[in-house]
Structure 1
Amino acid sequence: IGEDVKPFTPGKAKEIVMSLQQPAVFCNMVGDWPALHWNAKYLSALLDGKTIQFRLGLKTVDLVPQFETKCSYVKATLEEFLAWSCGQPSCLSGPFSCYEYSKYWAYADYKYIARIFEDKPEIFQDIRWSDFGFPGRSGKESTLWIGSEGANTPCHLDSYGCNLVLQVQGRKRWHLFPPGDTSFLYPTRIPYEESSIFSKVNVANPDLKRFPEFRNTTAHVVTLSPGQVLLVPRHWWHYVESIDPITISINSWIELDADHEARVEEAITRMLVCAIKSAENPGDGDLWLNPTEVEATSHEINLQYLNKAVSAYFKFQKASVSEQARPSS
């Protein structure tokens, strides 16, 4: 096969993405994407001194997951992050000065490309999900992740969609578990974040005394290298860690029909968690909220959410039924 021939047509790739119930790594699909050149130096120049928020955690491996509620946060430029990760002495002052590189990792995670590059919309086209059968999907519908060695996301599953992840710089190790392993992963809704269900287990160092059922899980471990695209199917659990000094990834969540029902479930969950937690410790602040959630919403607003989700679900069901009722020409 010639250098520039991709192993799958967009149509075939989409078929795989929408139906495969196993994680898969696509190779040789993005060789011509300009986004492959989005290394840290290039992005630093592109951001041009703009500050972004980094989440900092300890490199020591504990028996409990390092949830986002337990991390520190700093606002810094990508340049400051690069200087810190190279161990430059200039870091004795500045946002990372309190965090020794040997002891901490830093992660600029979940950065919406449309938001951080709103003044440079032309770069959205560097990301071409159309090659996977999603025409019109670009950087505008994608998220950027920049981490140092050890940076990680605690084990969780996403309630909505499936996930396509492009590795751009450095390598990341993914520990994936099938939906059938859910009970062995001790799921929890605290910290609460809409669309994320966390595991109480630190899968990198499991406490088997507290979580004996974790032994029954089947981890699918994959090391993702630059130029590869990982498909994370719907409701697969994942723990992700950076294993190189600097890692950069870009992902996009692909909506699925099943999301309509999941939105109803999530709306009910939000209503219950907010009601219980607000009643429990009214003056306690929102320590149970994941930092990605802005605030605990009122019961009134939660009911509106639920109403909208149920309406959308029935609208979708009705459309599906009339679709099936139509005689095929």
Structure 2
Amino acid sequence: MAAAPGATPDSAPAAGAGEVEGERVKPFTPEKAKEIIMSLQQPAVFCNMAFDWPAHHWTAKHLSEVLHDKQIRFRMGMKRTDTVPQFETTCAYVEATLEEFLTWNCNQSTISGPFRDYDHSKFWAYADYKYFISLFDDKTDIFQDVIWSDFGFPGRNGRESTLWIGSMGAHTPCHLDSYGCNLVFQVQGRKRWHLFPPEDTPFLYPTRIPYEESSVFSKINVVNPDLQRFPQFCKARRYMVTLKPGQVLFVPRHWWHYVESIDPVTVSINSWIELEEDHQTRVEEAITRMLVCALKTAEDPHNTRAWLNPTEVEETSHEVNCHYLNRAVSALFDYRTSKVVEIQALRTNRDDMKKEGLNVHHHMEVEQMDDQDLLLGTIKQEAASPFGPDLVPVILSSEELPSERRGIFEGDGKDFVGKDGEHPGKLHCTKRQRTMSKNEDVVAEQTASDSSMAPSQTFISTDDLLDCLVNPQVTRIVAQLLIKGRSLWS
């Protein structure tokens, strides 16, 4: 995918873009921001794009006043650094108000209420994955406080957003999101992000247990990995960034991430941006759901909470999952049909333009368009790097594991310029590429190393089988075969 056109410090926004607050001008117009998002292949931080958002002032204290006595579920985890990830299925949960959370977070020695059993020095709390549409169901005007339209997505606001509030140490296990790309607005406190590229997936030892649609977890605690059990992880490339208030992080499709709060209170808002690739991914996810639910329910029909993530509340019956798969396949074919019609319409328009005797040079350009170019309506061009003081690349970490927990990227990005004045983010154009055959070799190697901990450990569990059956590479192939077969039937 071509890099997006760059924006120099003195480039001006489009007239009437509404990007000015007094004398302050946003560095990118919505059109330019979306162009960057849709073409950039590595994580990057947007600066000075949300300074006028009302949500900029959404501290936890402010939100506690807005939500009053509303009960919110907090995930409680241990402040420890062992080698096993703290998955949501192993955490305790507390129903409390934000005011009660803030009181507990002040580290008072004696406290009553819902947090009374959780010593602040030993536990962290995370109100994560809170959809605005349910959190602010009686205050829908607040949706307008989040303005994703500034990034080129008209009408997108808090209605399509999720809120995250945590104490120091709160974190999400390392995972990738199956759908879309991700925009994250940091409101209060700082969060450290550990990111790994999609092509390093075999080195992250992916698993679908615990199961949650759209989340592929890693078996590894990436801040304290067990390299004896997961030796291939040493080959994974770690990109790190500490996201500060006012900044917006762009996470491209299928980038792995582990996120941890490193200040006493953190507040962030995110939105997942839909992509065309999601249509096939829904088929892959439906296949995964069917296999996981069938095997795990058969194994223990009365204990789904041992493997089903608390955020996953939908039916798990085979009948429901079969219907889910059929809907996903039908939706994919409907989408492809609509695109064929759209392409045909564009071709008809092109032919009409020829008949009307329009500029010959323009005809030549249109003739050179492939179907994707026709849909986009533009000819792809080589462009300069978009990086600069207002768009900072997340760079490859050179830190060794023991010192990784120190602050990284504490500046504003201005010190991320190389000795020749070039931003190191340009390295994304020459990143290592692996072939499918190499990845398959790695999967075989990691499976062998993972199962050879001791000669006597030869028992294969349901989870071991599922790790192979619903490996992202496998479900992708199965989905393609299923879609191809369905095409032949019709």
Tell me the secondary structure at the aligned position of residue 319 of structure 2.
Answer: helix
Match of 2:131 among 104, 112, 120: 112
Question: What is the letter of the counterpart of residue 281 of structure 1?
Answer: D
2:92 equivalent in structure 1: 72
1:219 equivalent in structure 2: 238
Match of 1:180 among 199, 216, 222: 199
Contact kept, 8 Å, 2:192 with 2:241, in 1: the verdict is yes
- What does 1:10-21 correspond to in 2, within 5 Å? 10-21=30-41
Q: Does structure 1 residue 40 correspond to structure 2 residue 60? A: yes
Question: What is the letter of the counterpart of residue 301 of structure 1?
Answer: V
Match of 1:156 among 175, 182, 196: 175
1:137 equivalent in structure 2: 156
Deviation (angstroms), 1:29: 0.3
2:228 equivalent in structure 1: 209
2:484 equivalent in structure 1: none
Tell me the secondary structure at the aligned position of residue 169 of structure 2.
Answer: coil
TM-score normalized by the length of structure 2:
0.66
Rounded to whole Å, the distance in 2 between the matches of 1:15 and 1:283 is: 49
2:343 equivalent in structure 1: 324
Match of 1:93 among 106, 112, 126: 112
Q: Does structure 1 residue 29 correspond to structure 2 residue 49? A: yes
Equivalent pairs counted in the alignment come to 328
Rounded to whole Å, the distance in 1 between the matches of 2:214 and 2:208 is: 10
Deviation (angstroms), 1:325: 2.6
Rounded to whole Å, the distance in 2 between the matches of 1:85 and 1:166 is: 23
Q: 158-167 or 274-283: which moved more?
A: 274-283
Rounded to whole Å, the distance in 2 between the matches of 1:321 and 1:212 is: 46
Cα deviation digits, residues 18-46 of structure 1 (max 9, x gap): 22111010000011001000001110000
Rounded to whole Å, the distance in 1 between the matches of 2:70 and 2:289 is: 34
1:292 equivalent in structure 2: 311
Tell me the secondary structure at the aligned position of residue 181 of structure 1.
Answer: helix
Deviation (angstroms), 1:296: 5.0
Higher strand proportion:
1
Deviation (angstroms), 1:297: 1.2
Contact kept, 8 Å, 2:165 with 2:267, in 1: the verdict is yes
Rounded to whole Å, the distance in 1 between the matches of 2:44 and 2:111 is: 43
Higher-Rg member (1/2): 2
Cα deviation digits, residues 36-66 of structure 1 (max 9, x gap): 0000111000001111000000011110100
Structure 2 stretches lacking a partner, 5+ long: 1-9, 11-21, 354-490
Q: 178-187 or 12-21: which moved more?
A: 12-21
Q: CA RMSD in A?
A: 1.2
Q: Does structure 1 residue 56 correspond to structure 2 residue 71? A: no
Question: What is the letter of the counterpart of residue 212 of structure 1?
Answer: P
Structure 1 stretches lacking a partner, 5+ long: none
Aligned-pair identity in percent equals 70
Question: What is the letter of the counterpart of residue 60 of structure 2?
Answer: A
2:285 equivalent in structure 1: 266
Rounded to whole Å, the distance in 1 between the matches of 2:304 and 2:243 is: 39
TM-score normalized by the length of structure 1:
0.97
Contact kept, 8 Å, 1:286 with 1:296, in 2: the verdict is no
Cα deviation digits, residues 181-222 of structure 1 (max 9, x gap): 100000000000000000000001000000000000111100
Contact kept, 8 Å, 1:286 with 1:295, in 2: the verdict is no
Question: What is the letter of the counterpart of residue 12 of structure 1?
Answer: K
Rounded to whole Å, the distance in 1 between the matches of 2:266 and 2:294 is: 39
Deviation (angstroms), 1:286: 3.5
2:266 equivalent in structure 1: 247
Rounded to whole Å, the distance in 1 between the matches of 2:63 and 2:37 is: 29
